[in-house]
């Protein structure tokens, strides 16, 4: 399977705990995105990388959130001191930079986070 | 309009019937409009990327049109089948945003009943 993969698919944690999610993009893709979807809403942009450089962070990404893409391949999204409001589906996507916003972003299946 | 809006929120279609639904978006600074199909427990699947006013795209029984001047896109499903049941998302890219950021609508959930 050469699509975008995410791990874990589901995560249940207690409030105050730290969690980390991993995303493996399509291998030749140089751009990687993180989105968050809450119930009844569409995916909301969180951040994106071009190679290992984080080019933009949404204001949704509080200080408790950090994302890395250390070698320009896989990426991790860490949430520290989780809150119940962090419960959501976290989606990762990747693309090959050719034409900017016209490039198709290919999505993974997401990580469903539940904070108790 | 400030956000990307999709209507209706959900719809039920009889197998074999055709249907369509709308994505409305801010027309200013428009750059690209993406459509995705998202089935439960699967990854969102890219359907179309549209950029030019009047664009029409087709993939099998699914087609889409784009009006960038008035800020809307229609997605059509012809002869709906149960496997078309999914949430259909549209997303706008704006020229004023960074070249990585898509703004999504909340989706139209389509249920096709045999």
> What is the least distance, in Å, from the CA of A74 to any CA of chain B?
17
Mutate to test the interface with A, among B99, B104, B106, B108 (most CBs of A within 10 A): B99
Q: Is B54 helix (H, G, I), strand (E, B) or coil?
A: coil
pLDDT 10s digits, A88-109? 999 999 998 876 667 899 999 9
In this prediction, residue A97 carries a pLDDT of 80
In this prediction, residue A99 carries a pLDDT of 67
CB A110 within 8 A of CB A10: no
Q: How confident is the model at residue B1 (pLDDT cuts 50, 70, 90)?
A: low
Contact B106 A41 (CB under 8 A): yes
Burial of residue B73 (number of CB atoms within 10 Å: 0-12, 13-18, 19+)? buried
Answer yes or no: is pLDDT of B100 > 80: no
Answer yes or no: is pLDDT of B50 > 60: yes
Which of B43, B51, B91 minimises the CB distance to A109? B43
Which of B4, B51, B98 minimises the CB distance to A55? B98
Query: Which residues in chain A have their CB less than 8 angstroms from residue B104's CB?
Result: 35, 42-44
What is the Cα Rg of chain B in Å?
14
pLDDT 10s digits, A28-85? 899 999 999 999 999 999 999 999 999 889 888 889 999 999 988 999 999 999 999 9
> What is the least distance, in Å, from the CA of B56 to any CA of chain A?
15
Report the range of poorest mean pLDDT among A47-56, B62-71, B94-103. Answer: B94-103
> What is the least distance, in Å, from the CA of A69 to any CA of chain B?
16
Contact B31 A105 (CB under 8 A): no
Q: How confident is the model at residue B39 (pLDDT cuts 50, 70, 90)?
A: very high
Q: Tell me the two tokens of residue A100.
A: 């900017």
> CB under 8 Å to B94, separation ≥6 — which residues?
A101, B26, B29, B30, B31, B101, B103
How far apart, in whole angstroms, are the C-alpha atoms of residue A1 and residue B45?
15
Which of A42, A45, A108 minimises the CB distance to B101? A45
In this prediction, residue B28 carries a pLDDT of 87
> CB under 8 Å to B89, separation ≥6 — which residues?
A42, A43, B6, B35, B36, B37, B38, B44, B104, B105, B107
pLDDT 10s digits, B3-20? 999 999 999 999 999 999
In this prediction, residue A91 carries a pLDDT of 98
Q: What is the mean pLDDT of residues A14-30?
A: 96
- DSSP-derived pairing of the beta strands B62-67 and A10-13: unpaired
Answer yes or no: is pLDDT of B101 > 90: no
How far apart, in whole angstroms, are the C-alpha atoms of residue B62 and residue B47?
9
Which of A56, A91, A109 minimises the CB distance to B101? A56
In this prediction, residue A103 carries a pLDDT of 85
In this prediction, residue B98 carries a pLDDT of 66
């Amino acid at each position: 399977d050469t699509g975008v993969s995410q791990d874990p698919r589901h995560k249940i944690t207690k409030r105050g705990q730290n969690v980390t999610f991993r995303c493996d993009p399509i291998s030749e893709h140089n751009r990687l995105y993180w989105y968050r979807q809450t119930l009844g809403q569409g995916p909301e942009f969180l951040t994106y990388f071009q190679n290992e450089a984080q080019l933009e962070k949404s204001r949704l990404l509080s200080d408790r959130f950090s994302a890395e893409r250390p070698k320009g391949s896989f990426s991790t999204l860490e949430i520290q001191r989780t809150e119940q409001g962090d419960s959501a589906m976290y989606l990762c996507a990747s693309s090959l930079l050719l034409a900017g916003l016209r490039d198709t972003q290919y999505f993974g299946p997401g990580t469903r986070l539940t904070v108790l | 309009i400030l956000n990307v809006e999709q209507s209706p929120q959900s719809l039920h279609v009889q197998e074999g019937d055709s249907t369509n639904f709308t994505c409305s978006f801010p027309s200013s600074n428009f750059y690209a409009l993406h459509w995705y199909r998202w089935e439960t427990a699967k990854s969102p699947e890219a359907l179309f990327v549209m950029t030019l006013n009047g664009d029409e795209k087709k993939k099998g029984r699914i087609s889409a049109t784009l009006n960038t001047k008035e800020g809307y896109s229609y997605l059509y499903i012809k002869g709906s089948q149960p496997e078309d049941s999914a949430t259909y998302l549209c997303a706008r890219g704006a020229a004023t945003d960074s070249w990585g950021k898509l703004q999504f609508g909340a989706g139209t959930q389509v249920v096709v009943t045999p």
